[in-house]
Structure 1
Amino acid sequence: MLSQPRLKEILQLLLQPVGQNTTDLSQRFGVTVRTIRSDIQALNRLMPGASIALKRGKGYELTITDPERFNPWRQQALSRGWTLTLDSMEERQRYMLSVLLIQDNWQDPDDLADMIYVSRNTSQSYLRSIRQICSRYGLSFESRSQKGIRITGPEIRRRECLLQEVLDMDRNMKNYVTEFSPLEKQLFRHTDLSALSAGLYTSLQEHRLVCSDYALKNLVLHTAMMLERIRTGGILPELEPGGFPPEIMQATEDICETLEKKEKLAIPASERDSLSLHISLNTRLGCAPESEDLRTAVTQMLEHIRAIWRFDLRNDQVLIKDLYNHLFSIFKARYSHQNRTNPLLNTIRSSFPLAYDISLDAVSHVFQPMQFSEDEIGYISLHIGAAVERCYSGQMKPVKTYLVCGSGMATSRMLEARLKSYFQSKLEILACLSYQQYLSLDEHKLLEADFLITTVPLPERGLPFVEVDFSLTRENAETVARMLTPAQNETEGATRFFQENLFVRFRDPVSKEQVLDELCTRLIQNGISSPELRESVRRREEISHTNLNDIFAIPHPMTPEASRTKAAVAILDHPISWNDSVDTVQIIFLLAFCKGEQKSIERLYDFLLEIVQSIPLQQEILKSQTFEEFFSRCLK
């Protein structure tokens, strides 16, 4: 509402019965008299139902002409959340751009500079940037010496620019969905955003339309922008018929009827169609219409995930329902020729990389050659990731183990009894095995365990193990106890994913292709991956980039294909560009997954997330000149 805290203080002073002298105000705030005059002009532009005038011998006085309009505005303007700080160049430029996009009429450059409290010269640099932004959206930036400045062009492009260049910048705020920012309140100051949000939510519920908090916020901002533009004369052209479901059409009519009464304006048919489109994109029916094709697609996705990734989610009815509804909403959006952006995409990719890769693989397999966007894959991966957590992780189940003992049945039974006495329901011993039985145990049976307890050294078979004495000393019991803690289990198990001949330090500048070539070659030469690895990695990179932040990347093939799960590591002295967004990386883990080793794959991804979430650990890894240094720093 008020673009600077000083405006709020001046308004509070003017609400008092005593007039305010220009000189006194300038000294009070430590600014020039000219700045105070600019502040008064800004307040007069913003205030409805009131004005400020300079009275001879008295100073500035506030006169209220319409209390019904002024009092609600004053209450909002003086509240804590309605002050724009405009502390950075980006904030000031965004605010100036928003004024030009909301208003159709000519704007005085000096007034624009006063609004954001910068000099005319400084504001000119902002306007040059705004001119460039306009060209990207097909808008015209007009400047006339006698008239001022304005932006013209297609209404739909104007609104797109306002959303993407001004409003979308607030999406990363923690409180984005719970409250409205000062900028949002300032832009849509003629609309009670909280009341609008509550009204939209109630209407959607009445028509069995379900939406997330993010989607509701999108709808609120779109609707508020629609109302503001209608007030200033900006109307969308007629759209092609959308063929929306009756629930959406009826919800739109009810919402528009309520808004017309409350806001005292008429909402044209084109704006109603646009609102229907946005409701369609941001909601789904509480029960989506039945489609045999979509049912089959969901079944095929889950069958593929079971066959390739060994996560059997086929009986998760929550996942089946959620996937069906979400796929329905995706195709509904495509029917309307609209793409739904995913504000959480970067967080999803960096925080749930395994779920993202499983989803990408399943969707590519079932819907080939149809390409889903990264935004759509991101949403699907949230459903897949939640199902994996429900079925395989985070449940208070006993940790499963095989007990391998080379001293005979009696010894193994004694050790089994002592383990049960120590750990009771926390540990489930699946079976007592001899060494030979362990060697001949079927791979699928072996992977039913989380780790192994053994009295003899064991060859590597993809599971971590703890070697103990048959008497189970106190030190042995403490080691087993650490394996029962998921975080410790993951750390203990991480060591087996790395080996010296899969580590390389590049001291000279190299390209992304050179790094991938070298790491793939090492995995192939060591018998871990097939010669098709490099091509599979290339296809995966074409679909979606694999860097998790500006330091760390985890390229990998499309599907599990290795003889065992490993990571080839490259550390670079010189950062390399990793994708079209000019992101650079210096740490690369090329992952090779073994089909069927879902527990190993989970542990490896969990370990990678520890690295992503720890900047100090990333810096330690970057210092590693040799495999020994990497091993000690990364896995200590």
Structure 2
Amino acid sequence: MGNHLFAKHRKPPHYNYWKQLNKEKEVPMLTQPRLKEILQLLLHPPLYTADQLAQRFGVTVRTIRSDIQALNRLIQGASIHLRRSKGYELVVCDPERFETWRKQATSPDWTLTLDSMEDRQRYLLSILLIDSSWQDPDDLADMIYVSRNTIQGYLRTIRTICAAHGLSYESGGQQGVRITGPEDKRRDCLCQEVLDRNLTDYVTGFSPLEKRLFERTDLDMLSRIIYSQLQNTQLSCSDYALKNLILHAALMIERIQAGGILPPRQAAILPAEVTLAAERICRDISEAEELEIPESERDSMSLHIALNTRLSGVSESEDLRQAVRKLLDHIWTVWRFDLRNDPVLQKDLYNHLFSIFKARRSQQHHPNPLLNTIRNSFPLAYDISLDAVSHVFQEPAFSEDEVGYISLHIGAAVERCYSGQLKPARVWLVCGSGMATSRMLEARLKSYFQTKLDILGTLSYQQYLKNTDEQLGEADFLISTVPLLDRGIPFVEVDFSLTRDNAENVTRMLSPVRNQSDGPARFFQENLFVRFDDPVTKDQVLDELCSRLTTAGISGPDLRESVRKREEISHTNLNDIFAIPHPMTPEASRTRAAVAVLNHPVVWNDKGSAVQIVFLLAFCKGEQQSIERLYDYLLEIVQSVPLQQSILKAGTFEEFQTLCLK
């Protein structure tokens, strides 16, 4: 079939919202890269025939002809004509108008890469969510450059997505298709299914898709309004949270202009600073956009500000401080990590717990976009936090998202307690995702580079932009979790979890690598290794491993029940191959791991994830360094696909032990 663009020459019964937007702006954009490249070729001689263009782009002649038709519908101040036996010629009749259109239409900021099925489906979903009116499937197919048959497959998937978000997908025959449902669910669906919150570049600007979605809104102006009013009302937030607020405001503007208004709801009791900031932001937006913002939308803005910001001075609460003390006491009593005298941890935990309960009072769930990374990169901190939080906050129980955030603070404190001295190389950290992640990154860096880094402080991306070169120049180099502008100061980009590759990149800025810790072989023994050649269930694997640990005198008879309780709270597979089940708390006579290697994958959780390598961990109370080193080795396995494959091939304990020694 090929990718056919505007295959039908007819006026649609219902003007598409996006086409109407382009008409209003008088700048139809080239959202498909191939159209942009064809236009660039036609700007200069020689002329190209349809055969030559088809060969150049690896498509059919029919597709090229459809592309030329599309260009002629979009182009302004010019047209493309076919010269027989010569090729296509661009004829400009209004040079000024054409040049204005060309610069904007071919701008990289406006070029959407719709190369993958996911990209096309997200863009299609955004069109149906932004505009509530009926849409013609033929026009939708034209807009994302697919055939009519292909668009039907995308629409079936969108029907499923709508159902999951409490929305209705309607097909009205000749009228077309549309999405209906409550306004708040429409916006939630767009935020969760369309917007890309990739932390690497989410905070540093606006993607082509974001600019396309909110093309009638000046996003830079919106950024200035929100950032300045938050500062004026003594509210602070991470770069990530600031971007969330900007996009929420942009979506509010677009939906109000399209006639979509949030229904009134019972107003939440929020700090005066939050409601004041919301009032000022909505006032400034109303003036800039000449738009009336209803009270329900102002209330929604207040809630989003409450969820994404914190007061510079948090009010005192003795009950909350007592809860923090109980958390740290439990971690010391059970896990033997003494974090009770860490003032940074006490402050961070208090502020974060305050924000959690604030969100609960607002009846809002604050999803944790880092949860999988936290659970996979910091499993020890997550397990300690899950145990302590479950012990202290039994009713209401904390969600996995909330435990994930808390574990960043706990993990950073654990790293601080066992790190070395300050380091001589002076660095600034630039972190766009908030205080918790910056604390974890700082602690991981100190753990890896004990005598080599002197961390001057942490900057948000906005603070990095505002600081002078002289201020930044105090550092030898910068370590950042987001892409940075080149300001003449060396920098290295890392993930906040500081992967092995990240550590190697930082090392290149420094001296030779630190000494390696003791090897992991001492955590394994032959009678705790088993290989299952035949298919087995998860329960059979856990029964066998627990039985071996109990028979060896390492764990008591309650081990299996404790492991069962831990599995009910949260899954323990770190990826699609490797799982680390373990009891709720340390109870073993020594720290060991019982190992099972399976020829046939076993389903490990309710999401259908299957594993083939299982390490059942038994922790000895008080062996903090042993527990840390065992977890470090587990992370090496998670980060090394070749090592995982080698373990799967290990037929005997001796072969497995050889891998551990390596």
Category of TM-score, reference length = shorter chain? 0.7 to 0.9
Closer, same or farther: CA 101–66 of 1 in aligned 2, 3 Å: farther
Cα offset, 1:539, TM superposition: 0.9
Residue 564 of structure 1 aligns to which amino acid in structure 2? R
1:616 corresponds to which of 638, 642, 659: 642
Residue 546 of structure 1 aligns to which amino acid in structure 2? T
After TM superposition, the score normalised by the length of structure 1 is 0.78
The residue number in structure 1 matching 2:172 is 144
Cα offset, 1:635, TM superposition: 2.5
Note the 1:545-584 alignment, pairs <5 A: 545-584=571-610
Closer, same or farther: CA 551–21 of 1 in aligned 2, 3 Å: closer
Residue 129 in structure 1 maps to residue 157 in structure 2: yes
The residue number in structure 1 matching 2:308 is 282
The residue number in structure 2 matching 1:163 is 191
Closer, same or farther: CA 497–485 of 1 in aligned 2, 3 Å: farther
- For the residues of structure 1 that align with 2:209 and 2:420, how far apart are their CA atoms? 41
Q: Is the 8 A contact 2:129 2:179 kept in 1?
A: yes
- For the residues of structure 2 that align with 1:503 and 1:591, how far apart are their CA atoms? 12
- For the residues of structure 2 that align with 1:263 and 1:13, how far apart are their CA atoms? 39
The residue number in structure 2 matching 1:357 is 383
SS in 2 for 1:87: coil
Note the 1:412-451 alignment, pairs <5 A: none
Alpha-carbon displacement from aligned partner over 1:3-59 (angstroms, at most 9, x marks no partner): 212444577799x899x9998998897544344333444x37xxxxx7878999998
Cα offset, 1:147, TM superposition: 2.2
Q: Is the 8 A contact 1:566 1:592 kept in 2?
A: yes
Closer, same or farther: CA 277–629 of 1 in aligned 2, 3 Å: same
Residue 319 of structure 2 aligns to which amino acid in structure 1? D
Alpha-carbon displacement from aligned partner over 1:73-103 (angstroms, at most 9, x marks no partner): 8765433233111111111111111111111
The residue number in structure 1 matching 2:210 is 184
Alpha-carbon displacement from aligned partner over 1:422-442 (angstroms, at most 9, x marks no partner): xxx99xxxxxxxxxxxxxxxx
Closer, same or farther: CA 23–500 of 1 in aligned 2, 3 Å: closer
Residue 501 in structure 1 maps to residue 527 in structure 2: yes
1:112 corresponds to which of 131, 140, 151: 140
The residue number in structure 2 matching 1:490 is 518
Cα offset, 1:109, TM superposition: 1.5
Cα offset, 1:146, TM superposition: 2.8
Note the 1:317-356 alignment, pairs <5 A: 317-356=343-382
Closer, same or farther: CA 23–562 of 1 in aligned 2, 3 Å: closer
Cα offset, 1:383, TM superposition: 0.7
Residue 497 of structure 1 aligns to which amino acid in structure 2? F
Alpha-carbon displacement from aligned partner over 1:405-463 (angstroms, at most 9, x marks no partner): xxxxxxxxxxxxxxxxxxxx99xxxxxxxxxxxxxxxxxxxxxxxxxxxxxxxxxxxxx
2:70 corresponds to which of 34, 38, 51: 38
2:280 corresponds to which of 211, 235, 254: 254
Cα offset, 1:563, TM superposition: 0.7
Alpha-carbon displacement from aligned partner over 1:246-274 (angstroms, at most 9, x marks no partner): 11101111111111111221111111111
Q: Is the 8 A contact 1:208 1:285 kept in 2?
A: yes
Which sits farther off after the overlay, 190-199 or 511-520?
190-199
> CA RMSD of the aligned region, Å?
3.1
Residue 607 in structure 1 maps to residue 639 in structure 2: no
Note the 1:513-552 alignment, pairs <5 A: 513-552=539-578
- For the residues of structure 1 that align with 2:168 and 2:305, how far apart are their CA atoms? 30
Cα offset, 1:191, TM superposition: 2.0
- For the residues of structure 2 that align with 1:512 and 1:245, how far apart are their CA atoms? 49
- For the residues of structure 2 that align with 1:35 and 1:357, how far apart are their CA atoms? 56
Closer, same or farther: CA 375–110 of 1 in aligned 2, 3 Å: same
Residue 84 in structure 1 maps to residue 112 in structure 2: yes
- For the residues of structure 2 that align with 1:24 and 1:266, how far apart are their CA atoms? 54
- For the residues of structure 2 that align with 1:581 and 1:147, how far apart are their CA atoms? 38
Cα offset, 1:615, TM superposition: 0.9
Which sits farther off after the overlay, 116-125 or 55-64?
55-64
Closer, same or farther: CA 320–277 of 1 in aligned 2, 3 Å: same
Residue 37 of structure 1 aligns to which amino acid in structure 2? Q
Residue 310 of structure 1 aligns to which amino acid in structure 2? R
- For the residues of structure 1 that align with 2:272 and 2:162, how far apart are their CA atoms? 37
2:416 corresponds to which of 390, 395, 401: 390
The residue number in structure 2 matching 1:598 is 624
Note the 1:66-77 alignment, pairs <5 A: 77=105
Structure showing greater radius of gyration is 1
Alpha-carbon displacement from aligned partner over 1:253-298 (angstroms, at most 9, x marks no partner): 1111111111221111111111111111111112211111100000
After TM superposition, the score normalised by the length of structure 2 is 0.75
Residue 634 of structure 2 aligns to which amino acid in structure 1? L
- For the residues of structure 1 that align with 2:310 and 2:636, how far apart are their CA atoms? 36
Instruction: Tell me how many residue pairs correspond in the alignment.
Output: 537
Closer, same or farther: CA 56–307 of 1 in aligned 2, 3 Å: closer
Alpha-carbon displacement from aligned partner over 1:282-333 (angstroms, at most 9, x marks no partner): 1111221111110000011111111111111111111111100000000011
Residue 585 of structure 1 aligns to which amino acid in structure 2? V
Residue 409 of structure 2 aligns to which amino acid in structure 1? H
Q: Is the 8 A contact 1:621 1:634 kept in 2?
A: no
Residue 533 of structure 1 aligns to which amino acid in structure 2? L
Alpha-carbon displacement from aligned partner over 1:136-192 (angstroms, at most 9, x marks no partner): 22222222333222211111111111112211xx22362222232221121111223
- For the residues of structure 2 that align with 1:627 and 1:26, how far apart are their CA atoms? 61
- For the residues of structure 1 that align with 2:51 and 2:546, how far apart are their CA atoms? 74
The residue number in structure 2 matching 1:95 is 123
- For the residues of structure 2 that align with 1:598 and 1:56, how far apart are their CA atoms? 77
SS in 1 for 2:516: helix
% of aligned pairs identical? 66
Cα offset, 1:199, TM superposition: 3.0
SS in 2 for 1:142: strand
- For the residues of structure 1 that align with 2:515 and 2:639, how far apart are their CA atoms? 14
Which sits farther off after the overlay, 248-257 or 144-153?
144-153
Q: Is the 8 A contact 1:22 1:60 kept in 2?
A: no
Closer, same or farther: CA 535–40 of 1 in aligned 2, 3 Å: farther
Unpaired runs of at least 5, structure 2 = 1-28, 84-88, 424-449, 452-511
Unpaired runs of at least 5, structure 1 = 45-49, 398-424, 427-483
Cα offset, 1:207, TM superposition: 1.6
Cα offset, 1:106, TM superposition: 1.9
Q: Is the 8 A contact 2:521 2:660 kept in 1?
A: no
- For the residues of structure 2 that align with 1:118 and 1:541, how far apart are their CA atoms? 45
- For the residues of structure 2 that align with 1:51 and 1:65, how far apart are their CA atoms? 8
Cα offset, 1:630, TM superposition: 0.5
Q: Is the 8 A contact 2:331 2:384 kept in 1?
A: yes
Alpha-carbon displacement from aligned partner over 1:569-614 (angstroms, at most 9, x marks no partner): 1111011111111111111111111111111111111111111111
Residue 290 of structure 1 aligns to which amino acid in structure 2? E
Residue 178 of structure 1 aligns to which amino acid in structure 2? T
- For the residues of structure 2 that align with 1:193 and 1:346, how far apart are their CA atoms? 30
Alpha-carbon displacement from aligned partner over 1:479-528 (angstroms, at most 9, x marks no partner): xxxxx98652232xx22111000111011111111111111111111111
Closer, same or farther: CA 105–22 of 1 in aligned 2, 3 Å: farther
Q: Is the 8 A contact 2:78 2:90 kept in 1?
A: no
Q: Is the 8 A contact 2:526 2:653 kept in 1?
A: yes
Q: Is the 8 A contact 2:578 2:614 kept in 1?
A: yes
Closer, same or farther: CA 144–495 of 1 in aligned 2, 3 Å: same
The residue number in structure 2 matching 1:633 is 659
Q: Is the 8 A contact 1:137 1:161 kept in 2?
A: yes
SS in 2 for 1:602: helix
Note the 1:268-307 alignment, pairs <5 A: 268-307=294-333
Cα offset, 1:62, TM superposition: 7.6
Residue 33 of structure 1 aligns to which amino acid in structure 2? R
